[in-house]
Amino acid sequence: MQDLPDISPLLVALNSAQKDAVTAPPEHRLVLAGAGSGKTRVLVHRIAWLIAVENVSPLSILAVTFTNKAASEMRARIEQLVTAPIRSMWVGTFHGIAHRMLRLHWKQAGLPQNFQILDADDQFRLVKRTLKALDMSDEQWPPRAVTGWINAQKEEARRPRDLVDLGDYTQRQYLRAYTAYEASCAQSGLVDFAELLLRAYELSRDDEQIQAHYRRRFGHILVDEFQDTNTLQYAWLRTLAGDSGTMFAVGDDDQSIYSWRGARVENMVRMEHDFPGTEVVRLEQNYRSTGTILKAANGLIARNTNRLGKNLWTDVGDGEAIQLYAAFNEYDEAEFVAGRLREHLDGRCRHADLAILYRSNAQSRVLEEILIRARIPYRIYGGLRFFERQEIKDALAYLRLLHNRHDDSSFERAVNTPARGIGATTMDRLRHIARASEVSLWTAARNAAGQLGRSGANVGRFVQFIEDLHAQTAGQALSAVTEQVIARSGLREHFRKVAGSGAGSGRGDQAEGRLENLDELVSAARSFESDASARPAAEDPDMPVLDPLTAFLTHAALEAGEEQAGPGEDCVQLMTLHAAKGLEFPVVFIVGVENGLFPSMRAVDEGNLEEERRLFYVGITRARRRLYLSYAELRRVHGVEQIGAPSLFLKEVPPECVMETRPRTGVLRPAFGTREPQGAYGRGSGLTPGAAARRTAAGRDHGPGGFRLGQRVQHAKFGEGTILGFDGDGDRAQIEVRFRDAGVKRLMLGFANLRGM
């Protein structure tokens, strides 16, 4: 008798609906279920089941995840479940998979073998330069808008030739920009993020051999977070599946949060139509959160009208109430978070079990400041990534130019960084020559340095420098090449000078950091040279072996830095709500739950609250045991202090789930005539008439002595602090200040000798 595989580990900890989905016969399936109901778990077990029980080769499986991190976690979890080697299985993000396909079939895709990836910032700069070359002014044709438009066209699979001329002037100009931008990408061998997907899609659609190959190969396509696929990704999946591949998609319409990037939640409905016989599976038991957290999430999302409708329940009990903290300002809010973090850390929580989520990246700065001061290690997930930093991109531009001289974007960046006496006029002339003779900037510079006037000699020297660098570093290890680039280009010297000149000032510190980052880049390069197995791409035998430089540059553009710090360290996790999708943490803080911030001003203006509400739903449902929400009454936004009202979403959370915490200072809190006078839930805001009267018409809160609530002040003995409140008037006026090091103090205003900052 044939040995049957032991299937028990594949089905352990699955409820019956989950088991049905995992073990179903190979037909199209859409698992439509709420947060924390085990969708990702079902997807992982399904893959393991296909391999272990249905004897499907890992080669026939294509699994699409939302981040690279999710992909490697998925791989690791499947490895625990099956004995078969799964190295050859394609698991990755849409971009990662598209990139892999284009590296394999670069010729058929019409790309040079050494094509490079243009990240969002590079793309923006290139569009800007393109507009300039077309004499389209920034004021009339904002480069951001044009970039967004081009990407939107690509996401709908529209090339310039597919766009019908509507005789409309604006559209014609956009089209002109799109066409010219495409031409410069082609000339430089550059591919932006949207282009990766579009090329891979066109390749699978138009090249019959490739199409047949992948349709034969991928019998099983599995997609996580399906609600956030865009039109192009969906079309690509359809093309790859053909009539023979089966689709297994999992998603939650209530967690669709990327419509601003082209995601189409309708794909969930379209799937039932486009993949005949799709069976829809619903999972209703939530295994992640406490009853209270789930009730809050359910109550909130019920306010949305546009839903496919789901019900979630749990049997783990209510757990603790959600804590809501009304902070004076963003510093007070951050202090609150730090205080609670410390309690949890003292209570044996790991740092990594604690997450702070926010609506906008800019909110992390104050949190970081307070966490550093509190000596709590943290990591920002998906902030400004290492490879997106200015100094790193400067150094990479040289590496890219060594790799491909016709990469105009890199030429533009490297040629005058650090300054080499090549002015704007010279560059304009050079661009003009390049355009007129349809060659790259490099070629133009080499041939025409003599026609560029006085600074032409500097251009000539730059060309010579790159050639020499190339000759001298040929055959050297990647880290050595990187080191030479940093040293000989003058980049290190440049940042050293800045660091030296601005000692003590912010600028000097920043330059110090940049020098460290440049050193870090050399170490990063080292990890790409000797041991090929350490390279991310190497786990896939189908992936052509890239030379270390290409592998490194690709990693820099595509796979790098979803996590900022090195792995392994136990850190509190900071990230935007968008980046938190799919993740879970025992303890979650959502900060800045204020109107204008969350929901964002833009969403309020556009009346598009449903997506913001879904984002809040995503945030709440990340929490397993404890959830903290906070808002600040005063917040500095772009340098201007603004008064915040608690988010309208807070009122949509069932009040019995929430416990409002008041600041521990005991000071009487002023309230705002223009906003909720009674806190988010109308419980004791401690308003005094005097305090209310001190509000000016502009809504600002002025205390005695010309101080403002939330203002930063300096005290001779206690140092720096933040004003938390005022009490009394005239001679007896007191002021309450939270000092950075000395804690909260109540001082007689007349004697305190405070200096405003």
Question: What does DSSP assign to residue 582?
Answer: T
Q: Write the CA distances from 337 to 80, 332, 426, 621, 700, integer angstroms.
A: 36, 9, 53, 19, 25
User: x/- site string to ligand ATP, residues 202 to 241, per CB under 6 A?
Assistant: ----------------------------------------
User: x/- site string to ligand ATP, residues 550 to 589, per CB under 6 A?
Assistant: --------------------------------x-x-----
To which residue do tokens 């003779």 refer? 437
Query: In the structure encoding, which two tokens stand for residue 427, read together?
Result: 């560059």
Q: How far is the CB of 623 from ligand ATP (least distance, A)?
A: 11
Interface positions with Mg ion (CB under 5 A): 39-40, 582
Catalytic, 19? Answer no
CA angle 574, 577, 582 (to 5 degrees): 95
Q: How far is the CB of 727 from ligand ATP (least distance, A)?
A: 46
State residue 341 phi and psi, 5-degree precision.
-60, -45
Interface with ligand ATP in residues 621-650 (CB under 6 A): 621
List the alpha helices (DSSP H) in 489-639.
491-501, 506-526, 548-554, 601-606, 609-620
CA dist., res. 606 & res. 610, Å (int): 11
* Residue 41 is a binding residue for ligand ATP (CB under 6 A): yes
Q: Is 513 exposed, middle or buried (0-12, 13-18, 19+ CB in 10 A)?
A: middle
Handedness of CA 476, 480, 482, 488 (dihedral sign): negative
Among 17, 36, 414, 589, binds ligand ATP (CB under 6 A): 36
- The active-site residue out of 340, 622, 625, 626 is 622
Residue 47: CB atoms within 10 Å: 27
Among 23, 88, 160, 287, binds ligand ATP (CB under 6 A): 287
* Residue 96 is a binding residue for ligand ATP (CB under 6 A): no
- The residue (of 316 and 742) whose beta carbon lies closer to ligand ATP is 316
* Residue 252 is a binding residue for ligand ATP (CB under 6 A): yes
- The residue (of 92 and 582) whose beta carbon lies closer to Mg ion is 582
Residues 6+ apart with CB under 8 A from 363: 330, 591, 592, 597
Residue 584: CB atoms within 10 Å: 18
CB-based contact 589:353 (threshold 8 Å): no
- N- to C-terminal Cα separation, the chain: 83
Q: How far is the CB of 73 from Mg ion (least distance, A)?
A: 11
Catalytic, 225? Answer yes
To which residue do tokens 């005022």 refer? 726
Catalytic, 39? Answer yes
Among 22, 30, 37, 366, binds ligand ATP (CB under 6 A): 37
CB-based contact 233:239 (threshold 8 Å): no
Q: How far is the CB of 340 from ligand ATP (least distance, A)?
A: 23
Extended strands (E) in 193-257: 220-223, 246-251
CA dist., res. 346 & res. 362, Å (int): 29
Omega into 418 within 30° of 0, i.e. cis?
Answer: yes
Q: How far is the CB of 21 from Mg ion (least distance, A)?
A: 14
Catalytic, 173? Answer no
Residue 313: CB atoms within 10 Å: 13
- The active-site residue out of 225, 332, 353, 584 is 225
- The residue (of 72 and 734) whose beta carbon lies closer to ligand ATP is 72
- The residue (of 267 and 410) whose beta carbon lies closer to Mg ion is 267
Q: What is the chain's percent helix, strand, coil content, to nearest 5?
A: 50, 15, 35
Partner whose footprint covers residue 635, from ligand ATP, Mg ion, none (CB < 5 to 8 Å by kind): none
Handedness of CA 688, 694, 700, 706 (dihedral sign): negative
| Tally of residues, the chain | 757
- The residue (of 40 and 554) whose beta carbon lies closer to ligand ATP is 40
Residue 463 amino acid letter: V
Among 13, 145, 362, 532, binds ligand ATP (CB under 6 A): 13
CB-based contact 232:201 (threshold 8 Å): yes
Stretch in the footprint of ligand ATP (CB under 6 A) among 33-41, 112-120, 212-220, 549-557: 33-41
- The residue (of 8 and 311) whose beta carbon lies closer to Mg ion is 311
Among 21, 22, 29, 40, binds ligand ATP (CB under 6 A): 40
Query: In the structure encoding, which two tokens stand for residue 149, read together?
Result: 């438009």
- The active-site residue out of 255, 426, 711, 722 is 255
- The residue (of 32 and 117) whose beta carbon lies closer to ligand ATP is 32
Partner whose footprint covers residue 419, from Mg ion, ligand ATP, none (CB < 5 to 8 Å by kind): none
Catalytic, 46? Answer no
- The residue (of 67 and 722) whose beta carbon lies closer to ligand ATP is 67
Partner whose footprint covers residue 252, from ligand ATP, Mg ion, none (CB < 5 to 8 Å by kind): ligand ATP
Q: How far is the CB of 177 from ligand ATP (least distance, A)?
A: 38
Catalytic, 594? Answer no
Stretch in the footprint of ligand ATP (CB under 6 A) among 37-45, 71-79, 123-131, 541-549: 37-45
3-state class of 702 per DSSP? strand
In the complex, which residues of this chain contact ligand ATP (CB under 6 A)? Answer: 13-15, 18, 33, 35-41, 252, 255, 287-288, 582, 584, 621
Give me the active site residues, please. 39-40, 224-225, 255, 622
